[in-house]
Amino acid sequence: MSCAAADRVSPSIPIVVVDASTTEATRDICQHFVRLNASSSPLLYRRAHQPGLTHQRNEAVGICRELGVHVVHFIDDDTEVLDGYFDAIEHRFQIDPAVVGVGGIILNQLTVNYVKLKSFFLLGSHKRGSVLRSGRNILGQYPGTLATDIVEWLNGCSMSFRMTAFDEAQFDSSLQGYSMGEDYDFSFRLSRHHRLVVEPTAECIHHLTPTMRGSARAQARQATEATHRWVHTHMTLGMSPIAFWWSALGDFLLKGCHGVLCRERESLQAAIGVLDGVTSIIFGRTS
């Protein structure tokens, strides 16, 4: 989906696929794409030297550097970019030399409810694209976000960077497997010294499949553990362990109350997942 969409909107842009799957399915799809689009976008397929999203992103950056490109666009395999997406982002880089990272508008992002209550527990904020002292990140690439808004992180399904950004920062290779939060970890660190923005005219749709990322309970546990680990790693950048624990309490209470009041099993499972994560942190059993 993502390769076909990228080829449709920008037929000349090189596409790099770094595949860490255990089957030949992705390679076969890429070969089929090349046969159908021989005169269009050059597609480079590579087997990942080491599995894990951060390793694959860093490897893709290395390939792009060899190609001599000046801007690296990251989109997920379930992201559909719309007409003018790449042109709009590259134009933004051209007219604003101070900008190092640009994100597109994700048209179908879910609306966050109970923002005031979540703000009390350091789980939410009205400031789009911000990172709170609790380590919780606030989505910023909504329709209505202005070109002049400064954001502190970019969503991995729609983020682009000047190649010069990778001269001083890389994706954290200590994050393993699915590497939850690798996008906001990298872009937040970059935002401490450089300007990140959203380009309102670059639009995409993220066809996210929740079942591909585990159960609600597993996701909540992983998110709790990953946020705790990230906060402790980045205390020098303003993160606070006390703020994290306050947010974890709020996360458990809000998910649990919502599950009980609305009789929603997924929210109850997520609340249990938060508790699982807290327990594993306290007893040193984090994955």
Across residues 26-33, what is the average pLDDT? Answer: 86
Q: How far apart are CA 126 and CA 254, in angstroms?
A: 18
Q: What are phi and psi of 8, to 5 degrees?
A: -65, -40
Q: How far apart are CA 1 and CA 9, in angstroms?
A: 12
Residue 17: strand pairing partners: 45
| 247-256: pLDDT as tens digits | 999 999 999 9
3-state secondary structure of 173: coil
Q: How far apart are CA 138 and CA 220, in angstroms?
A: 16
Residue 213's pLDDT is 57
pLDDT band at residue 1, thresholds of 50, 70 and 90?
Answer: low
Residue 209's pLDDT is 64
Across residues 236-240, what is the average pLDDT? Answer: 96
Structure token digits, residue 3 = 């390769």
Per the model's pLDDT, the better-predicted residue between 71 and 207 turns out to be: 71
* 158 close to 204: Cβ distance less than 8 angstroms: yes
Checking if the pLDDT of 210 tops 60, the result is no
Residue 180's pLDDT is 72
Across residues 275-280, what is the average pLDDT? Answer: 96
Residue 23's pLDDT is 87
| 131-177: pLDDT as tens digits | 999 999 999 999 999 999 999 999 999 999 999 999 989 998 887 54
Q: How far apart are CA 81 and CA 51, in angstroms?
A: 26
> How many other CB atoms are found less than 10 A from the CB of residue 264?
14
Residue 173's pLDDT is 83
**Amino acid letter, 72:** V
Q: How far apart are CA 128 and CA 22, in angstroms?
A: 37
pLDDT band at residue 50, thresholds of 50, 70 and 90?
Answer: confident
Share of the chain above pLDDT 70, in %: 93
Domains of the chain: 2-107+143-208 (3.90.550.10), 212-282 (no CATH)
